[in-house]
A and B are shown apart, each in its own frame.
Chain A
């Protein structure tokens, strides 16, 4: 099982490679990928260094070009594909049907992975992408239960990759427009959810308030840890009850499921977090490397110190199995 780690910068990329990643994924410094954040990602020169570093290590490089091409700017997305392939990226990760077609027609032998943003949640959708574009691998959305992942694994020839750890999107990815409803910008259109330029942190008499384009997402008492106002993780009111109506701030952590994922034939586990620091990438990669190396052992259990490291790095210092576990749903 391949360990696929995120890199939003060269230091993160090196941290991933030095601590046991089998592959890293990166994106260009523009809106062609779904982590289009200020100060993150790779311009052409850094992209070249990234390729050289990964190739020297003998590991693999995946490039995320996983937003949707704008009608008058298709060339920007096509060019991201061209550059990736000219520099010998091992795989490109796509979601837009237009880009899948472009890559398949122009580069018939290129390995294409279907991004989670394409939201392929069933075998018929996977079959569609496989038949039309010969995708080699599908990244499964984080909405599936473990049993559903297993059913898909039993009924497809396509390689499957699942999310292992990191921020949890709880909506079917690529089909969530909550962010553009409040801000006009969404992962699909600009490559960012709840973009930072719309965020305001405001001290008020009742404590710290977080707002997204003026909408109050949450407010925190003095003893509470305030989190980034990702709009689905705030506290809202439904019939006079104030609670995390959509989801608590927590990170997905599937470490304890590793033996089952492996038994199903899952090809790769993906760590979310291109927006995170190199120190974060280093710690997470180290734990997951050890866990994957040991998960074939008969008495595999998720070690307490691994879980502590992952727990400490989690959003809200909470871990969840997310939709993999039915009770969460």
Chain B
């Protein structure tokens, strides 16, 4: 199993970002994803700085992938996307079919992100034909679903890597509305980029105190932290990369726990693995012998 470091999903200060990737350089991750995937107003690092950082990290003997935004609406966002897709060096994770359009036109291989809806082998194969070399499975799909898809893919399995989200709050939805700005009673156009004050997003609880979702700008995430440490031994042959998403610098420690298969870090009060087990995403499934 290879491990990938997911992009920072939240809005972190510039220095934090650079410090974080200094650590990533010397970490045990096989692959590093970086870049802005949520909101085009987040400019602690400008697009060119992300591209430069990606190129710099590429020199550190790790695979580097530049991610891209999932929700592309404005012309300016489309132009930025086009520029990222034409960087000429670093592999791109496409999170919108607009990105696939640019990448396929350029004839460069790409990673297909989880925000693009691939639910079956037929659409998966279409993407391979367009240049996809790695597929990140949509977050709501399960082990059983993946198994069914791969059962139809023996002819192309060697052209394809499969990656899934193994740790961190999962992205669940994207909106035109900014929920962080709304939580501060600010309109999006005058948001003052207030999400920088919430480096782990803002927790949204039910009126009974149950953690339901995390709001992260225009993105809504799982209220619990997805954690597949109990399940990683069942991924052999199906999953090539397991993505650990940074909730902070502790992701480097989380990587060590995953590598040493330390299942004691799983805590059902804050973690979930339901999606992988074909249950409601927020649920926990633990094999009875582990209880």
The answer to whether A219 and B274 touch across the interface, beta carbons within 8 angstroms, is: no
Q: Does B152 contact A (CB under 8 A)?
A: yes
Given A238-B203, A329-B188, does the pair A170, B176 have CB atoms closer than 8 Å? yes
Q: How many residues of B contact A (CB 8 A)?
A: 71
The answer to whether B122 and A69 touch across the interface, beta carbons within 8 angstroms, is: yes
Binds B, one of A15-23, A54-62, A174-182, A287-295: A174-182
Whole-angstrom distance between the alpha carbons of A101 and B148 in the complex? 20
Within 8 A of A (CB), among B197-227: 202-210, 212-213, 215, 220, 222
The answer to whether A184 and B121 touch across the interface, beta carbons within 8 angstroms, is: no
18 additional A-B pairs beyond A125-B72, A327-B187, beta carbons within 8 Å, are A69-B119, A71-B119, A96-B119, A96-B123, A123-B98, A124-B72, A124-B82, A131-B101, A143-B174, A144-B73, A145-B73, A172-B173, A184-B279, A236-B213, A238-B202, A246-B220, A326-B187, A329-B187
Produce 1/0 per residue, B96-109, CB < 8 A to A. 11111110000000
The answer to whether A143 and B73 touch across the interface, beta carbons within 8 angstroms, is: yes
Residues on B with C-beta less than 8 A from A123 are 78, 98
Q: Does B71 contact A (CB under 8 A)?
A: yes
Given A172-B173, A236-B212, does the pair A122, B78 have CB atoms closer than 8 Å? yes
A237: min CB distance to chain B, Å: 5
Listed in ascending order, the chain A residues whose CB lies under 8 Å from chain B are: 68-72, 74, 95-98, 101-102, 118-125, 127-129, 131-132, 143-145, 148, 151, 170-172, 174-178, 180-184, 186, 188-189, 213, 215-219, 234-239, 241-242, 245-247, 323, 326-329
The answer to whether B122 and A177 touch across the interface, beta carbons within 8 angstroms, is: no
Whole-angstrom distance between the alpha carbons of A148 and B176 in the complex? 11
Q: From A118, A124, A171, give the contact of B101 (CB < 8 A).
A: A124
B271: min CB distance to chain A, Å: 14
Whole-angstrom distance between the alpha carbons of A182 and B140 in the complex? 11
Q: Does B175 contact A (CB under 8 A)?
A: yes
A292: min CB distance to chain B, Å: 25
Residues on A with C-beta less than 8 A from B118 are 97
B126: min CB distance to chain A, Å: 5
The answer to whether B274 and A177 touch across the interface, beta carbons within 8 angstroms, is: no
